[in-house]
Amino acid sequence: MSERMKLEGAMVAIVTPFANGEVDWDSFGRLVEFQIDGGTQGIVPCGTTGESPTLSHAEHDKVIEFVVEKVAGRVPVIAGTGSNNTAEAVRLTRHAKEAGADACLIVNPYYNKPPQRGMFAHIQKIADVELPIVLYNIPGRSSIELAAETIAEMYEKIEMVVAVKEATGRVDMGSAIAAISDITIISGDDSLTLPLAAVGGSGVISVLSNILPGEVRKLCDAIVDFDMAAACTQHLKLFPLFKDIFCETNPIPIKAAMAMAGLCKEDLRLPLMPLADQHRKPLADLLENFGVNLPNK
């Protein structure tokens, strides 16, 4: 078996900026540069935060092409190409490979709720594309959960599987995976980046990085350097924001925060809605405490 792709550190689940219902490519280009300048170590387009459920297939393809072009090899691009339709996931993944993505992020097949053996076969089929796979274990969005044993079996038997984005919200799950497999574990929850690191996690695919990439990078650098005292200090400093950017369904709060900071418009596609008024001041106050300039708050 050849050496597998290694992912670690601070990666961003980048938003898809919209303006008047269409993808705002000018803002998108600026957001990519903002991430690179802020020290982000990987960019993940077309994930949950990128509102992939309401992107058309043509938009989905173009977003990945655009991000790959703008990143220009400076950091890995991990394209969200999952689906509950295996043939569709294969098509999306093949396109991402042709566009130049470095890896793909494959969410659990939602809604049709396959058994564990079905999820294994799903990943096995996508692996035929020969693009490194990051499993995305998020039962809160998919209604099913990849078992730790299934993740371990995928890593053992499917060479293209390189990591798991662990988003069950349970540190015990990270422990269960690490106890039986050497697969790279990446946190899917900002607030669990440090707790998961304590049991072997290697970084985060972050929502907060959309507005504070440098602060999330500091946390991950401390983790990678095994400086747990510095990591704990940074985690506790960021913790109120980790929680507040999920005061409503992601990506509603982070897009509100980015709009306050002038990074993009607060445009979301239905059925998502702009942030409720009662959450705006607390979020703005927390951001200002971090020195974020909010010209549009």
Residues involved in catalysis: 136, 165
DSSP state of 42: E
> Which H or E run contains 163?
strand 161-166
Q: 55-93: string of b/e by CB count within 10 Å (b at 16+)?
A: beeebbbebbbbbbebbeeebbbbbbbbbbebeebbbbb
CA-CA-CA-CA dihedral for 112, 117, 118, 119, to nearest 10: 80
Cβ atoms of 207 and 253 within 8 Å: the answer is no
Measure the CA–CA gap between 264 and 10, rounded to whole angstroms: 21
Measure the CA–CA gap between 289 and 171, rounded to whole angstroms: 29
Measure the CA–CA gap between 191 and 98, rounded to whole angstroms: 34
Cβ atoms of 27 and 85 within 8 Å: the answer is no
